[in-house]
Amino acid sequence: MAEVGFIGLGIMGRPMAKNLIRAGHELVVYDLRDDAMEELADVGALPARSCADVAAASEFIITMLPDGPDVEAAVLGPEGVLQGAGSGAMLIDMSSINPSVSRAISAACAKRSVDFIDAPVSGGEPKAKDGSLAIMVGGAPQCFDRAKPVLDVMGSSVVWTGDVGAGNVTKLANQIMVACNIAAMGEAFVLATKAGVDPEAVWNAAKGGLAGSTVLNAKGPMVLQRNFRPGFRVRLHHKDLRNALQAAAAMNISLPLTGAPQHMLERLIETGKADLDHAALVQCVEEAAGIEVMAEQLKPSHA
């Protein structure tokens, strides 16, 4: 029996799966894309023919998929995880989805005597590669304890946040803070550029003060270097904020600040930029201001 099954080998899933292999776990993998499975097979994983086959061969089954409907299809659909998982197996959903979907999937798993936790992540591709993701876990404490050795391979921070669904509530809260941080950083850089001040100098000064943050350290250089290669795509952050706003609406609460970056993400998607990194939020502010943010040393006159 393979120890771990992994379903979903995208930008995040591939490096996460590779870290599990490096740590000595046997891995069975499945993805809709053959080339993604071939890449993992080259480093020792066993490709499967379906999600059910992954589950049948695994004690722990990890799903890392774009959104709730994808997880529902992979777990509950024909040839899904619950068609193959044995009694006592554990499903670890590391996707970022609506908490209500996590709870529904957990209930379906319970009927098959399959344990479930929701364990979404933060940190993007760089932290997926080096195994330093922040992992936010919802589920029974005993399930968290059982899964933690596996999660520790992929994350430097693995935190239990409450019952099933709490992991995804925490991730939605995280995504609100990240989006607002990136949008505010973009406005700050545009202001500096319009005023004739090198935005890189502003970045260097601000990161040592109260405005300093992991977001500023990670996304500031990307903007200054005009590097929008995706570590976390615009369309996925849009999905996360949509889930946050839907969850808020279900609880009759307003999230006015969340709406601002969500509108900016929608604008990027409408203009063909859905697959850029979410640092591209700055481009919405640039478009309105009629300028482009760039480190002074990279401008043509400094070449």
Which two tokens mark 153? 């391979």
**131 and 12 in contact (C-beta within 8 Å)?**
no
d(CA 27, CA 41): 9
Chain CA centroid to CA 42, Å? 25
Tell me what pLDDT residue 90 has: 98
**139 and 116 in contact (C-beta within 8 Å)?**
yes
d(CA 46, CA 29): 6
Whether residue 155 is predicted with pLDDT greater than 50 in this model: the reply is yes
Whether residue 299 is predicted with pLDDT greater than 90 in this model: the reply is no
Whether residue 137 is predicted with pLDDT greater than 90 in this model: the reply is yes
Whether residue 303 is predicted with pLDDT greater than 50 in this model: the reply is no
Q: Are strands 133-138 and 121-122 parallel, antiparallel or unpaired?
A: antiparallel
Residues marked as catalytic: 171
d(CA 215, CA 228): 15
Tell me what pLDDT residue 1 has: 38
**126 and 231 in contact (C-beta within 8 Å)?**
yes
Comparing CA positions, the residue from 54, 52, 32, 29 lying closest to residue 42 is 29
**59 and 1 in contact (C-beta within 8 Å)?**
yes
Mean predicted confidence (pLDDT) in 102-115? 98
Tell me what pLDDT residue 297 has: 75
Parts of the chain belonging to CATH 1.10.1040.10: 169-302
Length of the chain: 303
Whether residue 2 is predicted with pLDDT greater than 70 in this model: the reply is no
Each residue of 239-290: pLDDT tens digit? 999 999 999 999 999 999 999 999 999 999 999 999 999 999 999 999 999 9
Task: Assign domain 169-302 to its CATH architecture.
Answer: Orthogonal Bundle (1.10)
Using DSSP's 3-state secondary structure scheme, residue 249 falls into helix
Give the N- to C-terminal CA distance of the chain in Å, as an integer: 58
Which amino acid belongs to residue 178? Answer: V
Q: Could you tell me how many helices (H) and strands (E) the chain has, helices first?
A: 14, 9
CATH number, span 2-163: 3.40.50.720
Backbone region of residue 27 per phi and psi (left: phi > 0; alpha: psi in -120 to 50; beta: other values)? beta
Mean pLDDT score of the chain: 95
Each residue of 9-47: pLDDT tens digit? 999 999 999 999 999 999 999 999 999 999 999 999 999
State the pLDDT confidence band at 227, using cuts at 50, 70 and 90: very high
Contacting residues for 278 by C-beta, under 8 A, at least 6 apart: 178, 179, 182, 219, 232, 233, 234, 236, 237, 265
Tell me what pLDDT residue 301 has: 60
Mean predicted confidence (pLDDT) in 177-201? 97
The pTM score is 0.91
Which two tokens mark 88? 């006592």
Mean predicted confidence (pLDDT) in 47-71? 97
Residue 90 CB neighbours (<10 A): 21
d(CA 177, CA 225): 23
Parts of the chain belonging to CATH 3.40.50.720: 2-163
